[in-house]
Structure formats: C-alpha cells, structure tokens
C-alpha cells in the first residue's frame, strides 16, 4: 500500500488546528516539505515536547512526506529558544536532507504564510496555499501520526498542553473523545474555584463553557484562567459592544495595520480601514471593508497592537462574514505580485511582550511531557474533526468495537477523514458523534 493510502486509512489530519486531511496534502509534487514546529501561541508547549519525545517518528514522518511528494528538501521550523528540542532535531537530522531552521521567539511565527516565507523566501499568493509556491506544511504531530500510520496505527490519541490555573501544567497524549473536564482533572484539577477555559490557545482559540465537550483530533491545548482575568473580560465582550466602542473610540492611528503580520508580508490587509467602516453598517453589509478579506484572525491587532484596547480582529471577522453573506467576491489586493514590507522582520512582536500585554506572564511555566495512562469509561467522537464533509458512520448502537477499529468512513468522492474508535467498548449513541462506552 502507498504512503498516501496508509495515511488515508489511518485518518491522519492536520493536527495543528485546521484538520486538513493529510492524505490529500501528500498527493502533490513539491520542492519543500516544511515541518511547522514554531508553536507561537503563548503558554503552549506540546509541539516541542512531542518532537523531543517522539523525535525518530517525527523525522520519519518528514521522510515519508518527502517520498510521497518527491520533495528533495525538507526544513523543520522551530524557535531557537527550544534548545533541548533543537539539539534532538540536529542530532536526528545529521546527514539527512533535512535542515533545522531556527526562528526568533515572536508571534505568529507559526502562521503558515510566515513560516513558508521564513523557510523558503517564497510568498504564497494572496488567498492561496503553500502548494502554489512548491511547499507542503505539516505540523509536527501530523508527522508523528504519519509515521504511526505506516506502522498500521490509526489516529486514536491527541497530544496537547494543559496549563494555566491547573495544579500540574503538562503536555500529554490522551484518547481522542475524552472530555475537557477529564483533561483538567488529569492535570491535577483547577487551582481556582471560578475559572474559564480557553481551547486551542489564547490568541486563536476560543472560550469554551461546556466542559463536557470532547477533545478532538485538532484540539491543540487547554488554558485555564480565573474568570475575572482581563483577557476573559475582553474576549467575552458582546460583539455589539465591541463595534459600538470601536465606532466612537478608534482614532485611526493604524497601529493595528502597522503590526499586522499579513500586512507586513505584503498582503492588502488593513484593519484600521475596516474599523473606519464600522460607522457604515446601517447602510448595508456590502459596505463592510474588503481590507479584512485576507485577515487570518491571528488576534494580534485586538490583543496587542491597539493602544486603545479596541477590537479590530473582531471587526475583520464580522466584515468577512458580512461580505460573504452579501455574495461579494474575496478581495485579493491590487496585484498578484506580493512584496514583503521593508520593516517585516523589524516589527515581529516578541512573545514575552505579548504575554505581558495579555497579563499571563505568571503562567509562563514549563508544561513537561507526562506519560498518561488514563483509561476513560466513555468517549465521544464527532464525525467532523477535519476540514470537509463529515465522516460516514459504519457502526450502529449496540455494536462492540475494538480500539483502533474504523467507525466512520470517508464518503465517496468527498474531502474527509476516517474515524477510529479510541477505546474498546460498545457504541451507545450515534448522532453527529459516535459515543463508545466501556462495558
Ligand atoms: S490600533 Fe486601535 S485605535 Fe488605532 S486604528 Fe487600529 S483600532 Fe483604531
Ligand atoms: S487579526 Fe488583525 S493582525 Fe491578525 S491578520 Fe487579522 S487584521 Fe492582521
């Protein structure tokens, strides 16, 4: 069986957040395989920890990706500050056509457009994908999962960091489908009675109030903060209030644009202009600004750049949604020729400064690897844990399943990923998810 087929069979998806089915990415010819180990979300450490723990498999994943795509070269992008992981990588790649590229400690070094530019000097066309400049990018966990797939082991576990207000911050591997609450308990429980949970990161993740929700193949981390933390207050401000404040308080200083990582790479993203159009909403959604269309929702403008604590990122999110609803074409800028801003590297935002602004420096602690033997009684496995169509259920209520057994298939001709049971047990419910309970 080919590498692509094995990866498809094992249900491997982009583990960094997007969940793009990995077998589709591998089905291309490219010049570079890039490993994204830049891990720039504040407080998360799981990519560095897993790369060090599973170094041989991660490198094997890169070699498999090179073989499948015909890439003669591979580059592993990682921050220089991860000294132990860098040493392990340099040791494991010695004599191989795999280079280790060191990044500074800034946000968002792990943005795909930034990573491709830093590693290859190539700029992805506006609104495009790395393939258009001859690159394919995989998160380090995805590479590990590819190597496992070649050994016939499907994706049944998820690696993540649990940190913040928990007794034992840690990076660990758990069965897909356990609850967020179980994850907090594994990390020793919350250390504050009234807490709020960020899933996926402080910058690009979301606040989740339902802790019975399951860990999926793309859950990158869980950060527990006290509910009265200013970041919680900021991020739970109702949209209407965000826009009302923005309308009256934005002084058009344009710091949001000047620090925007996509603007600095040369794309026509200008959040200050989007803020300017907040006042136009009464005249129709089509008047929302096109300068939001290439925004990647990194959150930097709202959480770092704006000196008045306004919400330009949320204005961009709203503008994109409204323009889509109005049927307007995506704005790709005045030219296809992209040139990075001369100040691009000079305006990288140091992670330490970002954490200071977010008010989370006291949570900047290691989250060392924890060998987790947790055996859940029950798991819930959503049929959509990937980009594309939901997987198609192939089991029924009452069926006994073994760990690693296929429980949902890729629908014929669709972009999707297979789903496997993460524990042995009995299927007790099938709706938008499959529930398996030990019996
Ligand atoms: S940084 Fe803040 S105040 Fe300045 S233009 Fe942007 S939104 Fe307005
Ligand atoms: S969220 Fe703000 S800083 Fe980030 S890409 Fe969008 S406009 Fe730029």
CA 318 to ligand 1 center in whole angstroms: 16
C-alpha span between 416 and 27 (Å, rounded): 14
Tell me which residue has its CA closest to atom 3 in ligand 2: 260
| Residue 419, ligand 1, Cβ within 6 A | no
Instruction: Indicate whether 283 pLDDT > 90.
Output: no
pLDDT given for residue 358 in this prediction: 98
> If you measure from the C-alpha of residue 327 to the centroid of ligand 2, how many angstroms do you get, rounded to a whole number?
22
- Find the 289 Cα to ligand 1 centroid distance in Å: 15
> What is the whole-number distance in angstroms between the Cα of residue 235 and the centre of ligand 2?
16
Residue 281 binned pLDDT confidence (cut-offs 50, 70, 90): low
Tell me what pLDDT residue 153 has. Answer: 98
Residue 306 near ligand 1, beta carbon < 6 Å: yes
Average pLDDT over every residue of 51-73:
97
Measure 424 CA to ligand 1 centroid, in angstroms: 53
Token couple for 227: 């509910």
Q: Which residue has a Cα nearest atom 4 of ligand 2?
A: 298
Per-residue pLDDT, averaged over 403-425, amounts to 97
For a pLDDT cut of 90, what percent of the chain falls above it?
Answer: 89
Mean pLDDT of the chain: 95
pLDDT > 70? residue 156: yes
The pLDDT value recorded for residue 279 is: 79
Residue of 111, 295, 303 to test ligand 2 pocket, by largest number of atoms within 8 Å of CB: 295
Please give the pLDDT value at position 284: 62
- What residues flank ligand 2, with Cβ below 6 Å? 260, 262, 269, 271, 295-301, 312-313, 316
End-to-end CA distance of the chain: 35
Tokens encoding 336:
């296809």
Residue 401 φ then ψ, to 5°: -130, 150
Alpha-carbon torsion, ordered 356, 360, 362, 365, to 10 deg: -110
Question: Is residue 17 over pLDDT 90?
Answer: no
Task: List, as one string, the DSSP characters of 105-173.
Answer: SEETTTSHHHHHHHHHS--PPTT--GGGGTEEEEEHHHHHHHHHHHTT----EEEEEEEESBSS-EEEE
Q: Is 255 in the pocket of ligand 1 (CB under 6 A)?
A: yes
Q: Which of 268, 259, 359 is nearest to 301 (CA)?
A: 259
Position 266 confidence tier, pLDDT thresholds 50, 70, 90: very high
Question: Ligand 1, from 251, 316, 349: best to mutate by most atoms within 8 Å of Cβ?
Answer: 251
Model confidence band, residue 233 (pLDDT cutoffs 50, 70, 90): very high
Question: What is the mean predicted confidence (pLDDT) over 146-150?
Answer: 98
Distance 360 CA to ligand 1 centre (A): 23
Residue 104 has pLDDT above 90, yes or no: yes
Burial degree of 258 (CB within 10 A; 0-12, 13-18, 19+) = middle
Q: Which domains does the chain have, with CATH numbers?
A: 3-150 (3.40.50.11540), 239-358 (no CATH), 375-439 (2.40.50)
Which of the pair, 326 or 49, is modelled with greater confidence?
A: 49
User: pLDDT band for position 336 (50/70/90)?
Assistant: low
Is the beta carbon of 90 within 6 A of some atom in ligand 1?
Answer: no
Ligand 2 atom closest to residue 259's alpha carbon, by position in its atom list:
3
Q: What is the pLDDT of residues 78-92, one digit of tens each?
A: 999 999 999 999 999
- pLDDT higher than threshold 90 for residue 157: yes
The predicted pLDDT at position 287 comes to: 64
Q: How far is ligand 2, taken at its centre, from the CA of residue 36, in Å?
A: 20
**SS3 of 432, please?**
coil
Query: Mean pLDDT over residues 404-408, rounded?
Result: 98
What pLDDT band is residue 337 in, cutting at 50, 70 and 90? Answer: confident
């Amino acid at each position: 069986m080919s590498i692509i087929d094995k990866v498809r069979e094992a249900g491997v998806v982009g583990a960094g957040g997007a969940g793009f089915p990995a077998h589709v990415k591998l089905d291309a010819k490219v010049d570079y395989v890039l490993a994204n180990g830049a891990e720039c979300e504040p407080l998360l450490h799981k990519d560095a920890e897993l790369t060090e723990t599973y170094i041989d498999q991660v490198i094997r994943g890169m070699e498999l990706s090179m073989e499948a795509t015909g890439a003669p070269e591979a580059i592993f992008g990682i921050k220089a500050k991860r000294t132990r992981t860098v040493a392990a990588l340099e040791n494991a790649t010695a004599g191989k056509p795999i280079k280790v590229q060191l990044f500074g400690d800034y946000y968002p070094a792990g943005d795909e457009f930034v990573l491709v530019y830093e590693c290859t000097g190539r700029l992805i066309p506006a609104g495009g994908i790395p393939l258009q400049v001859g690159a394919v990018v995989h998160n380090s966990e995805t590479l590990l999962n590819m190597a496992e797939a070649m050994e016939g082991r499907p994706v049944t576990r998820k690696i993540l960091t649990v940190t913040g207000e928990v007794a034992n911050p840690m990076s660990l591997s758990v069965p897909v489908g356990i609850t967020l609450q179980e994850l907090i308990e594994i990390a020793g429980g919350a250390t504050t009675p009234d807490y709020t949970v960020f899933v996926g990161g402080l910058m690009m993740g979301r606040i989740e109030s339902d802790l019975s929700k399951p860990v999926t193949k793309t859950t990158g981390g869980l950060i527990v903060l006290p509910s009265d933390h200013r970041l919680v207050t900021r991020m739970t401000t109702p949209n209407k209030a965000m826009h009302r404040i923005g309308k009256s308080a934005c002084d058009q200083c344009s710091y949001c644009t000047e620090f925007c990582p996509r603007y600095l790479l040369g794309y026509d993203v200008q959040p200050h202009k989007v803020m300017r159009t907040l006042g136009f909403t009464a005249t129709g959604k089509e008047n929302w600004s096109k300068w939001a269309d290439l925004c990647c929702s990194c959150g930097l403008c709202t959480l770092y750049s704006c000196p008045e604590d306004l919400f330009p990122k949320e204005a961009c999110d709203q503008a994109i949604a409204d323009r889509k609803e109005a049927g307007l074409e995506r704005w790709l800028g005045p030219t296809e020729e992209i040139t990075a801003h001369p100040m691009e590297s000079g305006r990288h935002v140091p992670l330490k400064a970002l954490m200071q602004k977010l008010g989370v420096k006291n949570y900047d602690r290691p989250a060392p690897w924890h060998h987790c033997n947790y055996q859940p009684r029950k798991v819930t496995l959503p049929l959509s844990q990937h980009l594309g169509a939901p997987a198609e259920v192939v089991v029924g209520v009452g069926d006994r399943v073994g760990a690693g057994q296929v429980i949902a298939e890729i629908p014929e001709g669709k972009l999707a990923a297979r789903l496997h049971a993460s524990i042995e047990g009995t299927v007790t419910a099938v709706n938008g998810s499959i529930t398996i309970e030990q019996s």
